[in-house]
């Protein structure tokens, strides 16, 4: 799978969220690469755990800002984040049990990468528009 590159088409118009999405995409690329080039199991497990950690950090940050700004789409968004975190967990469990199979590589592509790109374009972008209309500028760390 080709490396995913962040581009303006993925911008939600809010710098903090865009910068965190760039980091998240980098971590996804690290996982894909580790699986594709048949890095050892320890390295693959490490990239998966970095991905899970950063996903938690980033989703928590988005959710915190949604709550703080009384975002009406919070409930639906929380459900989507929870599903994605569960997907990462399931794939990590599969990897622990079966190793870096072709199925794992496919699942990373479809369930993690495509999901995230869609989520950014369809769901996060709505939060970005909401914040801009309110004139809110988010503060926080990218890590």
Separation of alpha carbons 53 and 55, rounded Å: 5
Residue 124 found at the interface with Fe ion (CB under 5 A): yes
The footprint of Fe ion on residues 80-119 (CB under 5 A) is: none
Closest to Fe ion by CB, 50 vs 84, is 84
Contact string 58-77 vs Fe ion (x = CB under 5 A): ----x---------------
Q: How many residues bind to Fe ion according to rule CB under 5 A? A: 2
Closest to Fe ion by CB, 30 vs 62, is 62
Minimum CB distance to Fe ion, residue 58 (Å): 8
Residue 30 found at the interface with Fe ion (CB under 5 A): no
Separation of alpha carbons 75 and 55, rounded Å: 18
Residue 18 found at the interface with Fe ion (CB under 5 A): no
Minimum CB distance to Fe ion, residue 39 (Å): 28
Q: Which of 66, 71, 111, 117 is nearest to 88 (CA)?
A: 111
Using the structure block, give the residue that is written with the tokens 């809010």: 14
Separation of alpha carbons 4 and 114, rounded Å: 10
Which residues would be at the binding site for Fe ion (CB under 5 A)? 62, 124
């Amino acid at each position: 799978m080709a490396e995913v590159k962040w581009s303006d088409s993925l911008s939600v118009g809010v710098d903090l969220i865009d910068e965190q999405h760039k980091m998240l995409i980098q971590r996804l690329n690290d996982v894909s690469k580790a699986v594709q080039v048949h890095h050892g199991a320890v390295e693959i497990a490490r990239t998966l755990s970095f991905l899970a950690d950063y996903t938690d950090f980033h989703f928590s940050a988005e959710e915190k800002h949604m709550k703080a700004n009384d975002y009406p789409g919070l409930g639906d968004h929380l459900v989507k984040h929870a599903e994605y975190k569960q997907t990462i967990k399931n794939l990590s469990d599969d990897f622990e049990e079966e190793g870096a199979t072709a199925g794992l590589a496919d699942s990373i592509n479809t369930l993690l990468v495509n999901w995230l790109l869609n989520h950014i374009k369809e769901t996060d972008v709505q939060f970005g528009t909401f914040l801009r209309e309110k004139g809110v500028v988010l503060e926080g760390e990218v890590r």
